[in-house]
Amino acid sequence: MLFRSLRSITELSGRITALAEVDAAPKALPPGLGNLLMTELGLPPGKHLGDLRTKLLALCAAGEIEGGREPAYYIEAVQSRALTQDLQIRVPKNLKQMPSSD
């Protein structure tokens, strides 16, 4: 009986530790953030959006910005921290340029 109780307590301790690790992980960025980054910042689609998301996730992991917030929060973070300044913008080759409406 005692052995079974100790085993249960050990298992519970392991589950608590695992949950604490999950809880400590940075929260995900909101869905649709890439589209909003393109619209609000005038960025074309491309791999640079993934680079920008990676920068935002790193800031979340470092505790410099919060995870799990609304998209406008991250647009403000990008702008206030000039995260696009060093961004290498790479437009996909298969993306055709739209004719100008001028």
The number of CA neighbours under 13 Å toward the Cβ of 88 is 2
**Global confidence as pTM:** 0.66
Answer yes or no: are the C-beta atoms of 58 and 64 closer than 8 Å: no
Gyration radius of the chain over CA positions: 21
DSSP structure class, residue 58: H
**Token pair of 71 as six digits:** 């998209």
| pLDDT of amino acid 30 | 93
Answer yes or no: are the C-beta atoms of 90 and 48 closer than 8 Å: yes
Mind listing the pLDDT tens digit for each residue in 29-65? 999 999 999 999 999 999 999 999 999 999 998 999 9
Q: Which range is least confidently modeled, 24-33, 56-65, 81-90? A: 24-33
Strands (E), 1-102: none
